[in-house]
Structure 1
């Protein structure tokens, strides 16, 4: 027996094999199908897709045998990979000095007598393993069988290239997720750290106004008013950023509470302390909901809040609808407000995208609320869409799945 030589590019070959992340992976139908096809074409009982490590050859696919690996020193494939572009054929191993006394050739019931192996060679010329076929008796292949065996081997190589690309994409995705998490944590920390100085600014403005009011002219008082308004605007902006990023941490959106829609809406309306002439119409049927209450409250707070803020009518009218259909809750929040231009309707759910320059109270929006709403709805197994007529009305329709998992204490 002659041991196979080590390829000159062994270091690079092993590195390329490692990058595939295929060794000791589970069986995959795509590889088994190609191995079976090779066996069928060449009329052999055994076919293998092998990969050669430093000291062993491992079988990704093994048709016709229960073996999963063997030592590299006795492998036929170890010889085959030394000629990366050639099909290696051994018609009778008992008459070949390289394999005559090889333990595989001497097996009692399933000796390796006939062998044909086509190296699986990547674009850099690294023969990572082989597609090989085996028979327990001497055999020859026709030219057509040889050609088709090479063709099947090429398909295995394409599978490997696809796997490598997928591995790289997964690595990139993992890195991007990690960087995104760092950015979110940074935004959260910065936002939290800014809340206290802003609160101090607002309190300081009130102190200055109260203590030095007699010494300030109207312009000075106006400046203090601008400073306080700006502080409140920035505080609101930071709060919404925190809400947006905190929505990523909702891990229990599939857990549910039982509550009715009218009671939830009553609590939400009370939070707004509405002073304008406003009519908010609840759903006709007070249905019982089974879903994550906190998340739904956040969604409706944003949508109803927008209906109140972005409304230029003397009387604000908001209609809320809700019904259950095939274990899916369908909601609609409609208003008679400013409306949304058609060219803006596709982008309003993007972070920091705004529609109107200013709201009913003269404040500029920050484009965070609807992005948070969409994220929560998607996490609850639903989607949201908008229809609007500029200057007349806007309707947000969304759906969420009915949950059956009860909230744990």
Structure 2
């Protein structure tokens, strides 16, 4: 028996094999279909997708044999990988000087015939083979050889798809790390700014209280301006803190009674709803499985915005509906308020954007937070609006 030679690029080949993690997940159902097809086409007892590691030959997929691996020094495929672009065919192993004393020939599975096409990367690194074996000598037809080569190309493409999947996982992890770090920085900065602003607010109120006898009207006016500015800044910081706390890890999901959530929001806004004759309409709504805190936050923002930006020309009417879309819920919140100008429809979901710059209420983080929550829950959110007539905010949530 002749031991298989070691490829000249062995170190690079092994590094590639291990980086693809093909040895980590055995077996592979897609490859099992290919090995079965290879046996049918070539009329052999056994077919394998093999991976050649430093000391072992591992069967990534197998048909017609029970063992999971063999030693590399007896592996036919360890010979085949030395010619990455050429199929190794042994028509009668019992008469071949390289293999006739091989234990796999003399003993079970008594290999007499072998044909193996190396499985190579784009860089020409042969990681293993797609091979067929039989216990009787055999000669493949030209058509069978070409079919086996085509199947090997298909295996190589599956390996390349696996590589791309690993690359995407790495990118996802990097993006998640960057996202988490960005949120942590935003949270830290906002938290650190809040304390000194609270102190400034306190000192301004103290100064305003004691200034009636020592400062004139103009000075008191300046103090009031400063107080309003610090109040706005404090509101902004609280909004940033709320936005930063919305992480990609959603709250625990539970059964949520949407009607109860809406009724709670109505109760919170009851004084203005009664004084302004606001009508909030919703019919029989389903119980959905989602994050109650996140879902409630989105609805509270959308209903609150409808109230805040209502038209002065007519009483506000808000309609809430939920539609069953097979694998997701479609939630719609419609109103007959001021509406949004078409040129601003994409802008309103950006942080700090305010449709009405004159309106001093809020800091423009509400819809940005809604979008972040919905994306984290696996849905999407959008708006349809006619300026002067009203808006319809729609968002989806996976079931």
Give the TM-score normalised by the residue count of structure 1.
Answer: 0.86
User: How much does 1:72 deviate?
Assistant: 0.4
User: How much does 1:379 deviate?
Assistant: 5.8
The 3 A distance-change label for structure 1 pair 80 and 320 is same
Aligned partners of 2:114 and 2:132 also within 8 Å:
yes
The 3 A distance-change label for structure 1 pair 179 and 123 is same
Give the Cα separation in 1 of the matches to 2:338 and 2:63: 68
Give the Cα separation in 2 of the matches to 1:150 and 1:309: 68
What's the counterpart of residue 372 of structure 1?
369
Give the Cα separation in 1 of the matches to 2:13 and 2:324: 58
Aligned partners of 1:278 and 1:315 also within 8 Å:
no
**Structure 1 residue matching 2:277: 3-state secondary structure:** strand
Cα deviation 1:127-184 (Å, max 9, x = unaligned):
1111111011111112222222222211211111111111111111111111211111
- Aligned pair count reads 396
User: How much does 1:62 deviate?
Assistant: 0.3
- Establish whether residue 178 from structure 1 lines up as the match of residue 177 from structure 2: yes
Give the Cα separation in 2 of the matches to 1:186 and 1:269: 34
User: How much does 1:374 deviate?
Assistant: 3.5
Q: CA RMSD in A?
A: 3.0
Give the Cα separation in 1 of the matches to 2:390 and 2:377: 27
User: How much does 1:206 deviate?
Assistant: 0.9
What's the counterpart of residue 201 of structure 1?
200
What's the counterpart of residue 150 of structure 2?
151
What's the counterpart of residue 293 of structure 2?
294
User: How much does 1:53 deviate?
Assistant: 0.6
- Establish whether residue 343 from structure 1 lines up as the match of residue 343 from structure 2: yes
- Give the gaps of 5 or more residues in structure 1: 403-409
Aligned partners of 2:59 and 2:69 also within 8 Å:
yes
Give the Cα separation in 2 of the matches to 1:63 and 1:182: 48
Give the TM-score normalised by the residue count of structure 2.
Answer: 0.88
What's the counterpart of residue 74 of structure 2?
74
**Structure 2 residue matching 1:152: 3-state secondary structure:** helix
The 3 A distance-change label for structure 1 pair 134 and 262 is closer
User: How much does 1:354 deviate?
Assistant: 2.5
User: How much does 1:103 deviate?
Assistant: 0.9
Aligned partners of 2:280 and 2:319 also within 8 Å:
yes
User: How much does 1:64 deviate?
Assistant: 1.1
The 3 A distance-change label for structure 1 pair 221 and 320 is farther
Q: How does 1:222-371 map to 2 (within 5 A)?
A: 222-248=221-247, 249-256=249-256, 260=260, 263-270=263-270, 274=272, 278-283=276-281, 293-311=292-310, 313=312, 317-322=316-321, 332-349=332-349, 351-352=350-351, 354-358=353-357, 360=359, 362-363=360-361, 365-366=363-364, 368-371=365-368
What's the counterpart of residue 192 of structure 1?
191
Give the Cα separation in 2 of the matches to 1:288 and 1:45: 57
What's the counterpart of residue 406 of structure 1?
none
The 3 A distance-change label for structure 1 pair 50 and 307 is same
Give the Cα separation in 2 of the matches to 1:329 and 1:38: 46
Aligned partners of 2:49 and 2:130 also within 8 Å:
yes
Give the Cα separation in 2 of the matches to 1:11 and 1:365: 59
User: How much does 1:6 deviate?
Assistant: 1.1
**Structure 2 residue matching 1:260: 3-state secondary structure:** helix
Aligned partners of 1:260 and 1:288 also within 8 Å:
no
- Give the gaps of 5 or more residues in structure 2: none
Give the Cα separation in 2 of the matches to 1:42 and 1:288: 58
